[in-house]
Amino acid sequence: MTYSVRLLVMFCIINMLNYVDRGVIASNGVNGSRGSCSGSTCSSGSGIHHNPFRLIGVGLLVWTIATAGCGCSFDFWSITICRMLVGVGEASFISLAAPFIDDNAPAAQKTAWLAMFYMCIPTGIALGYVYGGLVGGHLHWRAAFWGESILMLPFVILGFVIKPLELKGFTHNKKTKEYGPMLSPELQDETSNNGIKQGVPAIVEGLAEKLPENSSFGKKVMIEIHHFGKDMKELLQERVYVVNVAGYIFYNFVIGAYSYWGPKAGQDIYHMASADLMFGGITIVCGIFGTLAGGFILDKIDSTISNAFKLLSGATFLGAIFCFGAFCFKSLYGFIPFFSVGELLVFATQAPVNYICLHSVKPSLRPLSMAMSTVSIHILGDVPSSPIVGFIQDKIHNWRTTALLLTSVLVGAFGFWFWGIFLHSVDRFNEQSEHGVPATERSNLRPLLDDGNDEARTSQ
């Protein structure tokens, strides 16, 4: 097994554990366990100044402590804070793991490798349904969270001890011991004697000069705020990326509510004896085969951004029809096959949507693009969807109607992704310079994982 394959396997297991936690929360809701609630937030970085691989270890450490804290919670606010920290730890991992996989995957199998990684999302949630139901039923709901922390601990240790890889678009500076975007030697910013980088706008430099002379931290903060704003502006100018994430928000709005309320709705509509196990089984099978199929199909038809949008819009449209039709059946025997086909199609979007996030921006913006995608789909997608669906259900007291209204939101995802087909798109994976250095000048830059990578940089 090559190092790249081992890296993929490790990231897949970690990702699965992340989403087992989501399934545990949903399972607790069905089992009626008191003291459980869901709330998450994600954070994006304004820049990478330490080895990205070590940052994954830090994120997993936060996640492990937070999940253990969920098991020790004593009131609503204590578990809410812990759930927020779980989201912070997850965001650090998700933002960096996908670019690492994209860098190390074979050129002809990039989407397939991403599919294997994102296959762990539905699989993890489904296992969480089963795991939460069994542990919560035989032991206590707190034990489910403690078990997650114990399972993640070995990967936290690995994140700090194994030899780190470098991320495409970033390189290491021997003098400062920091990481940053890979620039051509001619265009690197020089550092002045007082620590302020030349080329920073006058307004930022002026504010920095008003700080006390020994306030180097304040100056660095202002410079980083400027860089973050610059990167965000550049990211939001990528129309392909913005349209893709907009569709992803609608998609995640539905999937998030499905994952939380699905077992409860199924139990109420079809009087399932064990809704956790039923939804868990359907989601595991459809999640695995659907996500893998989406990745392999995109590789087969040629992994381009335009083809990815075609696959996204087609799969979402058909998936919405089948899921909507499933909830129209009064019989469980009609619901199961239609909902299974619908989930199979809907989960086929996971690899293509993240492929676009990674390839519609330059390499140095990939961690930020993944972070902002994660922030957006949570803040505007699955975080508000669960309480909104709960509010609607409290008003109409009809789970079938509520489920049909929720499923219709997939039309929004289809609309944005269908629009993306007609946008001018360029795969920017091989762009090296932050400042758009022409191809003839990019030959001066060292490739990723070159032993002489550091020598390509001039001192800052």
Choose the weakest-confidence range: 85-94, 163-172, 360-369: 163-172
Q: How far is CA 454 from CA 137, 164, 443, in A?
A: 55, 15, 15
CATH topology of domain 3-165+238-420: Growth Hormone; Chain: A; (1.20.1250)
Domain boundaries, the chain: 3-165+238-420
The pTM of the whole model exceeds 0.85: no
Q: Residue 78 contacts by C-beta under 8 Å, 6 or more apart in sequence? A: 69, 72
| Cβ neighbour number for residue 136 with a 10 Å cutoff | 22
Choose the weakest-confidence range: 120-129, 269-278, 300-309, 375-384: 269-278
Residue 287 is predicted with a pLDDT of 84
To 5 degrees, how large is the angle CA 190–CA 194–CA 196?
50
| Token pair recorded at residue 109 | 């199998």
- 392-398 average pLDDT score: 93
**Residue range 130-150, pLDDT digits in tens:** 787 788 777 777 888 888 889
Q: Which residue has the higher pLDDT, 405 or 435?
A: 405
Residue 198 is predicted with a pLDDT of 44
Indicate the angle between helix axes 366-377 and 350-359, nearest 10 degrees. 140
Choose the weakest-confidence range: 26-30, 33-37, 114-118, 311-315: 33-37
| Strand duo 170-173 + 178-181: pairing | antiparallel
Choose the weakest-confidence range: 31-40, 101-110, 141-150, 245-254: 31-40
Residue 171 is predicted with a pLDDT of 54
Q: For residue 211, what pLDDT band results from cuts at 50, 70 and 90?
A: low
**Residue range 13-66, pLDDT digits in tens:** 888 888 887 767 666 443 444 444 444 433 444 444 456 667 788 888 988 898
Residue 80 is predicted with a pLDDT of 82
Choose the weakest-confidence range: 198-202, 284-288, 398-402: 198-202
- pLDDT for 126 beyond 60: yes
Q: For residue 94, what pLDDT band results from cuts at 50, 70 and 90?
A: confident
Question: Pick from 44, 12, 8: which is nearest to 165 by CA?
Answer: 8
C-beta of residue 374 within 8 angstroms of C-beta of residue 48: no
